[in-house]
Structure 1
């Protein structure tokens, strides 16, 4: 490999790393402080880049928010894919598998309650974000559908339309996360009860 090609490859890698550093810093800021209260200057400082560098990689905060949302969706897809590959566990004890699956999904959200709440507001107020969010969600849905249709679960589902099943389960898990994250006064026992409610609803919906 010649010197110019090596240099070009190095620059591409460094550029990709810088972009990802901005995305990761933004997710932390949006989750802790919120999208509306976080400035571009704060985002740049958190990512250890200049404001000029920020605008080199992202046109504005909206574009960055959608990249953060895309990253979260990719983690969500990976969590589902990993669970669906646990075929031995699924066949041995479907309830235990589903319980672990739901816990893994809830953990995927991390501490993103504030950002998720503001994203719902933006979804109604900002047509550009609404469109992009819809496209990202649809891509994620397609990936998840393929994973389910290639798993042993597909033959056991009471709901034969995998798209509807995914949307319903996702809504239930989202609602469960919001209940837990949005109520600071919940004790650990209360949170466990809420998760158990989620498990019972999902299990009955999918299999009974």
Structure 2
């Protein structure tokens, strides 16, 4: 199960910026490139990475609205002017932080699942491995995820970016179902992929981010048994 295509790049963000009408400055790709430094040397690349990491930590600790660009620059050890040479504003660094967050999730899932022989594995064990990979991936930037949930409900652009990411996940789930359709008993694979993806995400979020009401291992087992009973003949 290779999820490496789940990637949202800068041109995508620029497209959303051009379409977004929420009151923020509209930025074209040419305008963006003319104002913002594109890091090419190793030192510049590391500086931008440091700004990103500092921003993610502050967004996690203080929230998006409780953080300003001066604080991000100070935490990164750069001047405010240097910050603006890499990012137009706080919103831009948040969107790049979202890309890093999404890509890190994907990389951790791929790393966890790499080498697992799903073809010969018991179906319940297979689903449990998928659940464990999602839990493993979600434990990176845990506090940032909580802030992202708030931003999703208050910022249309963030919502659009995350919805694009969710759609990638649903497509990957559908790709898996299409690998062995003769084993399945569901009538509509596309609808089934949505049911599976949303169910897995909701329960994994409950395990990682919410107070536990039942034993985690029991919860994973019952979820795996339910999905196997739903999917397979």
TM-score by length of 1: 0.69
Is 1:29 equivalent to 2:58 in the alignment?
A: yes
C-alpha distance 115-92 of structure 1, shift in aligned 2 (>3 A): closer
Q: Counterpart of 1:16?
A: 45
Aligned residue number for residue 222 of structure 2: 197
Tell me, in whole angstroms, the C-alpha distance in 1 between the residues paired with 2:50 and 2:221: 36
Q: Please say if residues 99 and 199 of structure 1, whose CA atoms lie closer than 8 Å, have aligned partners that are also in contact.
A: yes
Partners of 1:84 and 1:148 within 8 A in 2: no
Task: Name structure 1 gaps, 5 residues minimum.
Answer: 1-9
How many residues are treated as equivalent by the alignment? 195
Distance across 1 between alignment mates of 2:130 and 2:85? 39
Deviation at 1:140, TM superposition (A): 5.7
CA distance in 2, matches of 1:162, 1:68: 33
Give the drift of 1:136: 4.4
Higher fraction of helix? 1
Alpha-carbon distance between aligned partners in 1 of 2:157 and 2:46, rounded to the nearest angstrom: 27
Q: Which residue of 2 aligns with 1:183?
A: 210
Distance 1:182 1:146, change over 3 A: closer
Equivalent pair of 2:113/2:133 in contact (CA under 8 Å): no
- Report how far residue 22 of structure 1 moved: 2.5
The DSSP-based 3-state class of the residue aligned with 1:88 is coil
Shift of the 20–191 alpha-carbon distance from structure 1 to 2, 3 Å rule, reads: same
CA contact (8 A) 1:35 1:115 kept: no
- Does the C-alpha gap of structure 1 residues 160 and 52 become closer, same or farther in structure 2, counting only changes over 3 Å? farther
Report what 1:125 is aligned to: 154
Unaligned stretches of 5+ residues in structure 2:
1-38
Evaluate the alpha carbon distance shift between residue 100 and residue 111 of structure 1 in structure 2; reply closer, same or farther with a 3 A threshold: same
Q: Taking structure 2 as the reference length, what is the TM-score of the superposition?
A: 0.63
What is the alpha-carbon distance in structure 1 between the residues aligned to residue 191 and residue 176 of structure 2?
A: 12
- Deviation larger for 195-204 or 100-109: 195-204
Determine which of 122, 141, 148 is the counterpart of 2:176.
148
Residue from 65, 69, 73 that aligns with 1:44: 73
Cα distance change, pair 56–87 in 1 and its aligned pair in 2 (3 A): same
Q: Which residue of 2 aligns with 1:116?
A: 145
Greater RCO (CA < 8 Å, at least 6 residues apart): 2
